[in-house]
């Protein structure tokens, strides 16, 4: 797993039928024996089977993506899902936007005309030598003139307008992929010339007749424009003409001095012969880059802590364990807007009034009006019976005390290990290896056998629920100490320690 390139996960999970089919066809072309395979023939048996198989992969990948994105910023993959969760945490993400500027147009003598939005393209060069394009964002009315004249203060917006046209196949959740630096809010979808509306998500609340599309941001300048399945959102009708028009831009690179913008790159009207800045101090402004997804992942939770908001169970856990009067706390999410938390104190049990106050303090910090229920954790004590073979050169009473103390400390949920980590927490099963590790680390112990309780499995000694916590309070440890001189069935060596394989000591 260490060799997995996580940056490729989005490509894998969001892979679509067209991509899969292209890969299959490229493989097919390598084998002359498959010359009769014809995917364009609806009666080709291999083609039918392959299409069904690839469609199922696409569907499963879509579900995997949706499930992954339900949880948190750590698992969300698409831009939309990451940005949504950041917004819920109180973090306003910077989106890609285009710079704007006012320019002067020089027009030749001639009759009147009108240039529609985004048809006139002018060009400049930034300090790095890259071409930056601007388009008119409003209609330009050019009056008749008998001589060359200048139109002042014409509004231009950075970027270029593009259109992608495809014929729909009529399959559920059909998507059109765009790979470019799309400016947010500029995607327009038309089906047979009729505009469809954009929705944040096509889901069970979307009617079969709703002519809507979902714009999925997959990261790294990759987008999918997706229709419905005929049950949740309307299908793209078979053989309908789908037009996706969008604008691309350079973000902050478009914020340049307007005297660098000096070329008419494309014009639909012959009278436009030149472009110039209004004065030397003018700059195009307002262009900004889309915030890096990893930056959002890192900063949104931190801002949540600064603002005191609690967006997921990890946030709630941190708050619980820093709350005065709470020894240990743990929470879990039940659905999308409800938390269940349980707490335990080192001495005594939290009062009903304390729990009520804790709930009231947490509730207003939860995002999106979520709620929480706090309860006292169930403590689980254990009764252990152990048989210990020990080295005669060690004092028996000292060993007994050391063993009792080691197990008691291990079962104490409020005790720390040498690395300052809690040894036991909520929902932690007691393992056979836990007892072996704690006891055999004591000098003088040669071997150990667990007589009681009977292990729940070959690894688990005592099972607990996730709302339970093991405790030393009420637990008992009974020791049967066997001096090594009475144990003739094992080799005795102070440098080795044994768990028993001999049936006599099981």
How do beta strands 222-226 and 241-248 pair? unpaired
> What per-residue confidence (pLDDT) applies to 187?
93
For 22, phi then psi, to 5°, come to: -60, -40
User: The tokens 């899902």 sit on which residue?
Assistant: 81
Q: Does domain 308-376 have CATH number 3.40.50?
A: no
163 vs 189: CA distance, rounded Å: 10
Taking the domains of the chain in order of start, what are their residue ranges? 6-68, 100-159+252-276, 161-248, 308-376, 380-505
> In sequence order, which residues have a C-beta less than 8 Å from that of residue 489 and are 6 or more positions away?
502, 504, 505
For 298, phi then psi, to 5°, come to: -80, -40
Beta bridge partners of 332: 340
- Can you give the pLDDT of all 506 residues of the chain as single tens digits? 334 444 444 444 556 778 888 888 887 777 777 666 777 777 777 778 888 888 878 777 766 665 555 556 666 766 667 776 776 666 777 778 899 999 999 999 999 999 999 999 999 998 778 899 999 999 999 999 999 999 999 999 999 999 999 999 999 999 999 988 888 889 999 999 999 999 877 887 889 999 999 888 776 778 889 999 999 999 999 999 999 999 999 988 999 999 999 999 999 999 999 999 999 889 999 998 887 777 777 777 666 555 566 777 877 887 888 788 888 888 888 876 788 999 988 878 888 999 999 999 888 888 767 889 999 988 999 999 999 988 888 899 999 999 999 999 889 888 765 554 556 778 888 988 888 888 988 888 888 888 899 887 778 899 998 889 898 889 999 999 988 876 544 444 433 344 543 333 33
Beta bridge partners of 140: 115
Q: What is the 3-state secondary structure (H, E, C) of 411-438?
A: HCCCCECCCCCECCCCCCCEEHHHHHHH
């Amino acid at each position: 797993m260490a060799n997995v390139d996580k940056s490729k996960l989005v490509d894998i999970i969001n892979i679509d039928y067209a991509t899969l089919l292209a890969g299959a066809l490229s493989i097919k072309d390598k084998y002359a024996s498959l010359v009769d395979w014809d995917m364009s023939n609806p009666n080709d048996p291999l083609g039918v089977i392959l299409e069904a198989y690839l469609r199922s992969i696409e569907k499963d990948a879509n579900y995997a993506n949706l499930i992954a994105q339900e949880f948190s910023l750590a698992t969300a993959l698409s831009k939309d899902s990451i940005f949504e969760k950041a917004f819920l945490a109180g973090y306003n993400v910077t989106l890609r936007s285009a710079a704007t500027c006012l320019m002067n147009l020089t027009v030749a003598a001639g009759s009147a005309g009108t240039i529609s939005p985004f048809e006139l393209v002018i060009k400049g060069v930034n300090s790095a030598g890259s071409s930056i394009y601007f388009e008119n964002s409003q209609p330009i009315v050019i009056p008749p003139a008998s001589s060359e004249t200048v139109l002042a203060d014409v509004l231009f917006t950075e970027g270029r307008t593009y259109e992608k046209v495809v014929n729909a196949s009529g399959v559920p959740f059909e998507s059109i992929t765009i790979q470019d630096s799309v400016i947010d809010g500029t995607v327009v979808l038309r089906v047979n010339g009729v505009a469809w509306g954009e929705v944040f998500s096509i889901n069970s609340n979307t009617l079969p007749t709703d002519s809507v599309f979902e714009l999925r941001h997959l990261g790294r300048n990759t987008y999918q424009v997706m229709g419905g399945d005929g049950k949740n959102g309307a299908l793209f009708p078979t053989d309908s003409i789908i037009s996706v028009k969008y604008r691309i831009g350079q973000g902050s690179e478009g914020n340049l001095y307007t005297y660098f913008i000096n070329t008419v790159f494309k014009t639909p009207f012959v009278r436009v012969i030149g472009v110039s800045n209004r004065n030397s101090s003018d700059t195009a402004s307002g262009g900004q880059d889309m915030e890096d997804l990893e930056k959002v992942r890192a900063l949104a939770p931190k801002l949540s802590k600064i603002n005191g908001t609690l967006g997921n169970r990890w946030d709630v856990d941190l708050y619980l364990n820093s709350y005065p009067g709470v020894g240990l706390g743990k929470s879990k999410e039940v659905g999308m807007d409800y938390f269940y938390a349980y707490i335990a104190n080192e001495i005594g049990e939290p009062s009903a009034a304390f729990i009520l106050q804790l709930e009231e303090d947490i509730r207003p910090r939860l995002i999106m009006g979520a709620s929480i229920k706090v309860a006292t954790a169930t403590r689980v004590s254990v009764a252990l019976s152990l048989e210990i073979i020990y080295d005669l050169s060690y004092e028996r009473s000292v060993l007994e005390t050391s063993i009792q103390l080691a197990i008691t400390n291990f079962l104490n949920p409020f005790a720390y290990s040498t690395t300052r980590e809690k040894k036991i927490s909520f929902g932690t099963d007691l393992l056979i290896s836990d007892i072996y590790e704690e006891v055999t680390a004591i000098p003088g112990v040669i071997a150990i056998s667990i007589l009681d309780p009977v292990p729940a499995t070959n690894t688990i000694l005592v099972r607990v629920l996730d709302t339970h916590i093991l405790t030393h309070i009420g637990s008992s440890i009974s020791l049967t100490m066997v001096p090594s001189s009475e144990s003739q069935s094992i080799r005795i060596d102070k440098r080795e320690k044994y768990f028993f394989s001999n049936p006599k000591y099981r």
